Amino acid sequence: MSAICTSRLGKSYGDTRALCDLDLDIAEGEVYGYLGPNGAGKTTTIRLLLGLHRPTAGRAELFGVDAWSSPVEAHARVAYVAGEPFLWPALTGAETLELLANVRGGTDTAYRSELVERFQLDLDKKIRALSKGNRQKVQLVAALATRADLLLLDEPTAGLDPLMEVAFRDCIKEAKERGQTVFLSSHILSEVEALCDRVGILRSGVLVDEGTLAELRHLSELTVEAAFDGPAPDLGPIDGVRAERAGPSALRFAVSGPVAPLLKALAAQPVTTLTSREPSLEEIFLHHYDAADGGGS
């Protein structure tokens, strides 16, 4: 059974189309990175997955339970971290954790104490006196401590400092080892690259690309640079390769598809150095946004 399954899921607010024909199928135990700039529809997706907003098209299921018609059953195995850490200002951190544990059920209090240590949370401070990052940590500890089968995280590291970001990554890796499913909405590419098995890229409410990092790289272009002993030669047209000058005696190739035809053509040339580099997630991401609207994302 899939942890998350949506079919042709869509949401419009009045005339504004926030999400369109989303098909997700995320297996149990998978760590899924959900990428997109602000306003792409990441939070809308999560609100639909949680049944907080009503889909205008299609449906969403968590562990096979419809998110809109049976939210309570659907949430039984889910923990959620909201993008904006709004909590009850008058409660202290400890009281907030207690309330959330009571309402959610299934909290591992020993693990929670460990998490409090790791995130260096000050539990005696009232929520109203905490910074955004610290409120975010309260939410994270509450969610992680449930050891829920599915963690829905909406930009969970916004406001965290680099040390806490490391602690967060460790926790997600541990969750993965335990077999928990993680849905990580983010626009921090390095975080997604470091943690996720599979990535979906959302643009203006449409899932424009999806796959493992290897698959995404495979579909994207490989960059190969070659330096020559003497002036750069003219190799003529090669299938799936775009060439450009990278200096008086160097060429840069953008290779989509197999690299063999290029190697064959280079074999006859006086090549001194040859480097190749896979595209970073950032390049894949920017590729999708540049292609569509001239760089405006």
Partner 1 sequence: MAAAASATARRRRVGATLVRRALRDARVRTIGFAYLFLIVAYVNASAYASLYPTLKSRLAFAASFGNNKAVVVFYGKAYDLLTAGGYSAWRVGGTLALFAAVFGIFAAVRALRTEEDAGRSELVLAGRVGRTVAMRSSVAAIALTICALWVGEFAGLALAGLQAGESAYLALATASVAFVFAGVGAVACQFAPSKRGAVQIGLAVFVACFLLRIAADTSHGVEWLRWLTPLGWAEDARPFTGAAPAALIAPVLATVALLLAAALAFRTRDIGSGLFAGRDFSRPHYSLLGSPTAHGLREERGSLLGWVLSLAAVGFVIGFVAKSVNRSVITPSVERELSKFGALRVASPIGYIALSFILVVPAVCAFMCAQMGAARREEEEERLETLFSMPVARLGWLGGRIALALGGAVVVALAAALATWAGAEAAGLHVALGSMLEAGANCLPAAVLFLGVAAFAYAFAPRASSAISYGLLAVAFLWYLFGSLVSVPKWIINATPFAHVGTVPVEPFRGPAALVMVALGIAATLVASVRFRRRDLIGD
Q: Where are the beta strands (DSSP E) in 158-283?
A: 181-186, 198-203, 206-212, 222-228, 241-245, 250-255, 271-277
Q: For partner 1, which stretch binds (CB under 8 A), given 122-130, 162-170, 194-202, 255-263?
A: 122-130
124 touches partner 1 by CB under 8 A = yes
Helical packing angle, 132-144 and 162-177, nearest 10°: 10
| Cβ-contact 93, 121 below 8 angstroms | yes
**Cα 210 to Cα 42, 76, 289, distances in angstroms:** 14, 28, 14
| Coil vs helix vs strand at 99 | helix
Q: How far is CA 258 from the centre of its chain?
A: 28
Residue 90 touching partner 1 (CB under 8 A) = yes
Residue 112 within binding range of partner 1, rule CB under 8 A = no
Q: Which x/- pattern over 149-168 shows residues binding partner 1 (rule: CB under 8 A)? A: ---x----------------
Q: Does 126 bind partner 1 (CB under 8 A)?
A: yes
80 touching partner 1, by CB under 8 A: yes
Number of residues that bind partner 1 (CB under 8 A): 38
Structure-block tokens of residue 52: 């907080």
State in angstroms the smallest separation of the CB of 192 from partner 1. Answer: 22
Measured from the CB atom, is 50 or 199 closer to partner 1?
50
Which residues contact partner 1 (rule: CB under 8 A)?
47, 50-54, 71-73, 75-76, 78-80, 82, 84, 86-88, 90, 92, 94-95, 98-100, 102-105, 123-126, 128-129, 139, 152
